[in-house]
Amino acid sequence: LFSAVELAPRDPILGLNEQFAADTNPNKVNLGVGVYFDENGKLPLLQAVQKAEAALQANPKARGYLPIDGLATYDQGVKELVFGKTSEPVTSGRIATIQAIGGTGGLKVGADFLHNLNPAAKVLISNPSWENHRAIFQKAGFEVGTYAYYDAATRSIDFNGLLADLNAAAAGTVVVLHACCHNPTGYDLNEAQWDQIIAVVKAKSLTPFLDMAYQGFSQGLAEDGAVIGKFIAADLTFLVSTSFSKSFSLYGERVGALSVVTQDKEEAARVLSQLKATIRTNYSNPPTHGAAVVAHVLGNDELRALWEKELGEMRVRIKAMRHKLVEGLKAAGVTQDVSYITTQIGMFSYSGLSKEQMVRLRNEFGVYGTDSGRICVAALNEHNVTYVANSIAKVM
Ligand code: PLP
Ligand code: TYF
């Protein structure tokens, strides 16, 4: 039966973890996968999360099935965080939000829903994008193409190319946009550019699907969420996937969501029924713990403030590490302009190093980044940044 089964390719990012684990180099540093580590190289367990868990444990609940669309207080918390508590779409009830298995799950439920709705539509993702975007939308049945995004020659966004590609897209094309902290490049669109994109999306009747996996890691929760307000203000209907993996350091709990902004409350109810139908035939209903923790934090003023503070500390520390990396490279004798490292934002730096250089970094120095030259600056700390800078300088 299984003799014809072919070996599937490894995930190019998660596969690096296995290689890293097997590496015996005592100086090894894992800058491959997008995970935030604290100043001691440890995966943080946020105080806000610990306090929420303590509160939940003080009043333990039996674990019945959650509704298909998840924990109601969680879905409401997501809506208020992403769209604003007093925003018209939230108060008028025209957003359908479901709890999802991480941001990946939100993307997948959204992809399945959209494909049922319009199987002939195409999907455009940025060039380059998070590897899993293409795979998720292809598995949902879509043909996936790209829109121009990164221009390696100028180390900036090829915005004219981007606009041209969106302008050339057929009506109904699903356009996957990184809301902030673009993965893998670290280059985000500015406000004026978003305005222009929104104008094209509207004029050409494209379907925007915003992937929000890093809310709070660029400028702050509200600031990073402002782009959503622009889509609302333009009176567009669109989708947003949310991930709390990074912002709550709850990677393994798989807490995410999908929100679909519709025209009115009645449309939202129909959309929600379809999202639930998609979920039912995939995993029936989501798990309880992670959503209960996040809902508790979002719904409690004190814990919410503590979470924002801790998220702010992660954001600030990443930015400090970008500066340290630049200083380290200069101290190691690098004369090229490396200021792009501090221009980029979020958890990653697109270093511009070639595949050969990345392989050398891995094999000779135990410094792991992706073959595309992406390094996770959120995994740098005072103890490893000089070593990393020296290693990069040697392969440059
Ligand atoms: N989207 C982007 C751009 C990401 O970088 C990630 C990273 O994990 C995800 C989605 C998926 O998030 P999650 O781990 O919550 O599934
Ligand atoms: O890009 C990253 O490193 C993170 C983590 O299939 C990740 O988004 C990577 C690959 C993957 C799932 C998550």
Tens digit of pLDDT for each residue in 366-387? 999 999 999 999 999 999 999 9
pTM here? 0.97
| Shortest-distance atom of ligand 1 to CA 244 | 15
Average pLDDT over residues 142-170: 97
Instruction: Judge whether 194 counts as a catalytic residue.
Output: no
Expressed in angstroms and rounded, the spacing between residue 59 Cα and the centre of ligand 2 is 34
Task: Check if 130 has its Cβ closer than 6 Å to any atom of ligand 2.
Answer: yes
Q: Whose CA is nearest to atom 2 of ligand 2?
A: 34
pLDDT (0 to 100) of residue 154: 92
Q: Report the CATH architecture of 14-45+303-395.
A: Alpha-Beta Complex (3.90)
pLDDT interval class at 240 (50, 70, 90): very high
Q: Whose CA is nearest to atom 8 of ligand 2?
A: 34
Task: Check if 11 has its Cβ closer than 6 Å to any atom of ligand 2.
Answer: yes
Tell the burial category of 166 from Cβ atoms under 10 Å away from its Cβ (0-12, 13-18, 19+).
buried
Average of per-residue pLDDT values in the chain: 97
Given a cut of 90, whether residue 157 has pLDDT beyond it is yes
Task: Check if 183 has its Cβ closer than 6 Å to any atom of ligand 2.
Answer: yes
Expressed in angstroms and rounded, the spacing between residue 155 Cα and the centre of ligand 2 is 23
For the stretch 121-149, pLDDT in tens is 999 999 999 999 999 999 999 999 999 99
pLDDT interval class at 15 (50, 70, 90): confident
| Shortest-distance atom of ligand 2 to CA 130 | 1
**pLDDT > 70 in the chain, percent:** 100
**How far, in Å, CA of 97 to CA of 275, rounded?**
9
Tell the burial category of 318 from Cβ atoms under 10 Å away from its Cβ (0-12, 13-18, 19+).
buried
Expressed in angstroms and rounded, the spacing between residue 348 Cα and the centre of ligand 2 is 12
In this structure, what are the phi and psi dihedrals at residue 211, rounded to the nearest 5 degrees? -100, 115
Given a cut of 90, whether residue 364 has pLDDT beyond it is yes
pLDDT (0 to 100) of residue 165: 98
pLDDT (0 to 100) of residue 43: 97
pLDDT (0 to 100) of residue 336: 93
pLDDT (0 to 100) of residue 167: 98
Own/partner pairs, 295-301, CB within 8 angstroms, 24+ separation: 295/71, 295/73, 295/74, 295/77, 296/52, 296/55, 296/56, 297/48, 297/49, 297/52, 297/248, 298/74, 298/77, 298/78, 298/80, 298/81, 299/73, 299/77, 300/52, 300/55
263, 88 contact by CB (below 8 A):
no
Instruction: Judge whether 211 counts as a catalytic residue.
Output: yes
For 133, the token pair is 């975007």
Average pLDDT over residues 208-237: 98
Dump the DSSP string for 285-324: S--SHHHHHHHHHHT-HHHHHHHHHHHHHHHHHHHHHHHH
Average pLDDT over residues 25-45: 96
pLDDT (0 to 100) of residue 118: 97
Q: Under CATH, to which class is 65-299 assigned? A: alpha beta
Dump the DSSP string for 176-229: EEESSS-TTT-----HHHHHHHHHHHHHTT-EEEEEES-TTSSS-HHHHHHHHH
List the domain boundaries for the chain: 14-45+303-395, 65-299
pLDDT (0 to 100) of residue 81: 98
Expressed in angstroms and rounded, the spacing between residue 383 Cα and the centre of ligand 1 is 27
pLDDT interval class at 14 (50, 70, 90): confident
For the stretch 48-88, pLDDT in tens is 999 999 999 999 999 999 999 999 999 999 999 999 999 99
Residue whose token pair is 């999908």 = 258
For 73, the token pair is 């207080």
Given a cut of 90, whether residue 13 has pLDDT beyond it is no
pLDDT (0 to 100) of residue 22: 93
104, 256 contact by CB (below 8 A):
yes
**pLDDT > 90 in the chain, percent:** 97
pLDDT (0 to 100) of residue 145: 98
Q: Which residues contact 274 (CB under 8 A, 6 or more apart)?
A: 113, 116, 117
Instruction: Judge whether 309 counts as a catalytic residue.
Output: no
For 205, the token pair is 């009747």
Expressed in angstroms and rounded, the spacing between residue 254 Cα and the centre of ligand 2 is 13
Q: Which of 130, 181, 372 to mutate to test the pocket of ligand 2 (most atoms within 8 A of CB)?
A: 130
Expressed in angstroms and rounded, the spacing between residue 157 Cα and the centre of ligand 2 is 22
Residue of 108, 211, 224, 307 marked catalytic: 211
**How far, in Å, CA of 49 to CA of 144, rounded?**
37
Task: Check if 30 has its Cβ closer than 6 Å to any atom of ligand 2.
Answer: no
| Shortest-distance atom of ligand 2 to CA 184 | 1
